[in-house]
Amino acid sequence: MAEEQLRLEIVTPDSTVLSEEVGYVGVPGAVGQFGVMKNHIPFLSALAIGSLYYRKDGKNEYVFLSGGFAEVSPHSVSILAESAERPEEIDVQRARQAKERAEERLRQQQEQVDTARAEAALKRAIQRITLGEQAGSSR
Ligand code: ATP
């Protein structure tokens, strides 16, 4: 039997990144990954830096999310993300440079370095590189 569909919307302060009918959705929640299918009970969750995936036409599709919130209802999942990119939109070279900058800051161990900020930048960069490289190798 075909999987029941629910609406997945991903918006950022800049744009609507995605608005589609999809099957299962895997979301990087702040306290761990969670899965959503149609008719899920309503709830809200903060998001971690990570990758969301959803099933569409029998394939898993991925979207990078850099934190934000998810609102789940029986018929939809709405993601309000600080930033969101499909794998093919990721500039891997830029992410590698961001990774180097973050690693350099963390190496410095100076008082003026905001460690939490540098660690978050490093996480974003590593996730983008992982997803962007997968897109590059499957093209
Ligand atoms: P950078 O230091 O390279 O700006 P960052 O992690 O600080 O990286 P963000 O604050 O997460 O960047 O994002 C700022 C904007 O730039 C967002 O619109 C985001 O989608 C975009 N962006 C950041 N890095 C990349 C990338 N590697 N490829 C594509 N878009 C990116």
User: What is the number of H-type helices and E-type strands within the chain?
Assistant: 2, 8
Asked if residue 123 has pLDDT above 70, the reply is yes
Q: Which residues contact 66 (CB under 8 A, 6 or more apart)?
A: 49, 81, 82, 83, 84, 124
Q: Enumerate the domain spans of the chain.
A: 6-85, 90-138
Nearest to 80 by CA among 2, 134, 137, 18: 18
Cα-to-centroid distance, 11 and ligand 1 (Å): 15
CATH number of this structure's domain 90-138, picked from the four choices 3.40.640.10, 1.10.40.50, 3.40.50.1220, 1.20.5.440? 1.20.5.440
Residue found under tokens 């500039």: 91
If pLDDT is split at 50, 70 and 90, which confidence band does 114 have? confident
Q: What is the mean pLDDT of residues 91-101?
A: 97
pTM of the model: 0.93
Q: Could you tell me which CATH class the domain 6-85 is placed in?
A: mainly beta
Whether 118 is in the pocket of ligand 1, judged by its Cβ within 6 Å, is: no
Whether 85 is in the pocket of ligand 1, judged by its Cβ within 6 Å, is: yes
